[in-house]
Amino acid sequence: MSSSVLFLGSGGARFVVARQFRASGGMWLRLGETQIHVDPGPGALVRALSHVPPCNPRELSAIALSHKHLDHAADSTAMIEAMTSGGFRRRGILLAPKDALEGEPTVLPYAQRFVERVDVLEAGSGPYVIGDVEMYTSIAHHHAVETYGMHFRHQGLRFSYLPCGRYFSGLAADYAAHKPDVLVINVLRLADAMNVDHLTWDDARRVVEEVSPRVAIFQHFGTKMLEADPGKLAQALEDDLGIRAIAARDGLEVDLETEVAAVAG
Ligand SMILES: [Zn+2]
Ligand SMILES: [Zn+2]
């Protein structure tokens, strides 16, 4: 069984998501036979079902949220209903930080009871076991709400996801310690004009340089990033660093073993 990541969306930031300049359906991860939907933002269910061939929510082993913000979690209740056949078949795992589940939850409480297991994510913990996949959380990101990155391991493959948050010293070291073959990294901003809790392109570059994955995939683009042409930026980084760099687009599917093998050498 091969492993792949499908981008059901590649947009980030309020304006891009509100206008759907880029979709916001999150990542559909296939690690061997284990399927995990990460960060189902607005439109995730529709994007999953309308993809060719369709992604089947009833085959999901888990739904994982990096944090509770709407562009990462808006469709989580809809996806849980789809995964559990409207709650009639109790199955699957929900992984999310505590503040996505309690207080003002972005996963509606009734649907939290439809899954077989809820794993509350905490900083730097794991393994959280999803079938034959092990997942570890990153250190806490600096973001307005509880936010954790994810380090997946499946057989020999190491796949890490670095979600939203501001750059701080120690961020890259945590990801480097997990030695990912593939690193997906959210880069919302081209430059820091407003000092917000997101990586800029320069920050993302710095992180990639330090983590040194074989393959880096960028996504979650804001308006200025889109205007700057993420494909071009990725190409320049690839030339500079000698790693494979990919700018995600909506519907892009990356075969992980193939990409990793192509740069192993
Ligand atoms: Zn956020
Ligand atoms: Zn975000």
CA of 265 to the centre of ligand 2 (A): 34
* 77, 111 Cβ separation under 8 angstroms: yes
Average of per-residue pLDDT across 74-102: 98
What CA–CA distance (Å, rounded) separates 208 from 236? 13
Helix axes 230-241, 201-211, angle to 10 degrees: 30
CA of 246 to the centre of ligand 1 (A): 22
Tell me: the pLDDT tens digits for 33-49? Answer: 999 999 999 999 999 99
What CA–CA distance (Å, rounded) separates 128 from 112? 17
Name 7's bridge partners. 27
CA of 110 to the centre of ligand 2 (A): 25
Tell me: the pLDDT tens digits for 135-145? Answer: 999 999 999 99
Give the Å distances, CA to CA, from 190 to 161, 234, 249. Answer: 19, 12, 17
CA of 49 to the centre of ligand 1 (A): 25
HSE-CB for 218 with a 13 A CA cutoff? 30
Q: How far is CA 26 from the centre of its chain?
A: 6
The bound ligand whose nearest atom lies closest to the alpha carbon of 41 is 2
Tell me: the pLDDT tens digits for 163-176? Answer: 999 999 999 999 99
CA of 38 to the centre of ligand 2 (A): 12
What CA–CA distance (Å, rounded) separates 140 from 98? 13
Structure tokens at 154: 């499946």
Structure tokens at 174: 């945590």
Name 154's bridge partners. 157
CA of 140 to the centre of ligand 1 (A): 13
What domains can you pick out in the chain, each with its CATH number? 3-263 (3.60.15.10)
